[in-house]
Structure 1
């Protein structure tokens, strides 16, 4: 059974919304310090990859600037397993955090880098997220 954290933003556990499964190798990029408090359940046996380029199943990248996202996305895509996922989070307008990102801008940057968005998620009252994957036709 996974570790218990404070309650999430909605009735659906965030780990389920994001598709985090036991045994996954995950990479967390620029996450807020309180990231794990967003989860009411976090699967055990998750292997967090920090300073490595080893392939991962799941990446969660928190961005506030389009320029940073544009620069950091290509190496993250290279680290992604062919059937893996990258969640890109940006602050909601209602959060009143300084950002030049919107869902449309995040989508455009992902598409420009050869990814497709397949799901949107409200992480919490501050962050939204888009799920990107490598298109099936482009997987090797």
Structure 2
């Protein structure tokens, strides 16, 4: 399914055919949003060591801090973590913003590299482990 830009969501997120996609707090319409690009993908909500693609949805800062720390320890050094939060215009109660995500992520050794609209409710920020922090344990 294409979003506001006309670009398929799988392309925006960097999801490739046959990829193992880990989704935390998956919205009911997530796979519908991915459209035909979801065909052949493996979905899970279990994070294993070395995971290469995680999409984490949250509306709570406390959950963001806890899960992002865990993801930093588990995701592959070259892996991708998308964090999605409710847009202000969505009407969903939240204490998470782009700036909150960025502050938590940077303190854990992530760097933000891209942002996109997921749908009318969710925005997404793509995080990767900063190159200089790869293979290093988190210290905070």
**TM-score for both structures, normalised by structure 2:** 0.87
Structure 2 residue 56 is the aligned partner of structure 1 residue 61: yes
The answer for unaligned runs of 5 or more in structure 1 is 1-6
Alignment match, 2:67: 72
Structure 2 residue 127 is the aligned partner of structure 1 residue 138: no
Instruction: Measure the CA separation in 2 of the matches of 1:41 and 1:60.
Output: 18
Instruction: Measure the CA separation in 2 of the matches of 1:43 and 1:92.
Output: 24
Aligned CA distance change for structure 1 residues 43 and 51 (closer, same or farther; 3 Å): closer
Alignment match, 2:90: 95
Aligned CA distance change for structure 1 residues 37 and 69 (closer, same or farther; 3 Å): same
Corresponding residue pairs, total: 134
Instruction: Measure the CA separation in 2 of the matches of 1:44 and 1:9.
Output: 18
Instruction: Measure the CA separation in 1 of the matches of 2:35 and 2:120.
Output: 15
Tell me how far 1:43 sits from its aligned partner. Answer: 4.4
Structure 2 residue 33 is the aligned partner of structure 1 residue 38: yes
Is the partner of 1:76 in helix, strand or coil?
helix
The answer for unaligned runs of 5 or more in structure 2 is 136-140
Choose from 103, 106, 109 the match for 2:101: 106
**TM-score for both structures, normalised by structure 1:** 0.87
